[in-house]
């Protein structure tokens, strides 16, 4: 009963390095999301994928790219990490758009950029 699985759980990057955060869900959900959480703030949407094959920008997309690899997997890439990207990143999934349904979240990836 894994739900939403994120890897890695922790990561330290140097400024300018790149990395990809991985996310997979086993609930056969259509929609997937990447959020970031910063101290004193709620979660903010970075990118989302309403369905397999589609991706769209959220509230704070700058500095990130995403790939919806298949229905299960949605990755987030930082091409050139900056200290402002130090945050906790959460992947989530939901049944889909046009439904009153909750999103299910992974455990998070704590990223520090030095």
Partner 1 sequence: DQQVKQNSPSLSVQEGRISILNCDYTNSMFDYFLWYKKYPAEGPTFLISISSIKDKNEDGRFTVFLNKSAKHLSLHIVPSQPGDSAVYFCAATLYNQGGKLIFGQGTELSVKP
Burial class from Cβ neighbours inside 10 Å (0-12, 13-18, 19+) for residue 106 reads: buried
Of 98, 106, 41, 103, the closest CA to residue 76 belongs to: 106
CB-nearer residue toward partner 1: 31 or 87: 31
Of 64, 68, 67, the closest CA to residue 85 belongs to: 64
Least distance in angstroms from the C-beta of 17 to partner 1: 24
Which residue ranges make up the site for partner 1 (CB under 8 A)?
A: 4, 31, 33, 35, 40-45, 48, 50, 58, 90, 92-108
CB-nearer residue toward partner 1: 33 or 64: 33
CB-nearer residue toward partner 1: 14 or 40: 40
Least distance in angstroms from the C-beta of 80 to partner 1: 27
Of 34, 16, 30, 17, the closest CA to residue 75 belongs to: 34
Least distance in angstroms from the C-beta of 49 to partner 1: 10
């Amino acid at each position: 009963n894994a739900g939403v699985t994120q890897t890695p759980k922790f990561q330290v990057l140097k400024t300018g390095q790149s990395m990809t955060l991985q996310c997979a869900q086993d609930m056969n959900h259509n929609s997937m999301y990447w959020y970031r959480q910063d101290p004193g703030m709620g979660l903010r949407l970075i990118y989302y994928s309403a369905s397999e094959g589609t991706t769209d920008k959220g509230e704070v997309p700058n500095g990130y790219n995403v790939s919806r690899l298949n229905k299960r997997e949605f990755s987030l890439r930082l091409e050139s990490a900056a200290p402002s990207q130090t945050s906790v990143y959460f992947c989530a999934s939901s049944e889909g758009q046009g439904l009153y349904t909750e999103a299910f979240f992974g455990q998070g990836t704590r990223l520090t950029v030095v």
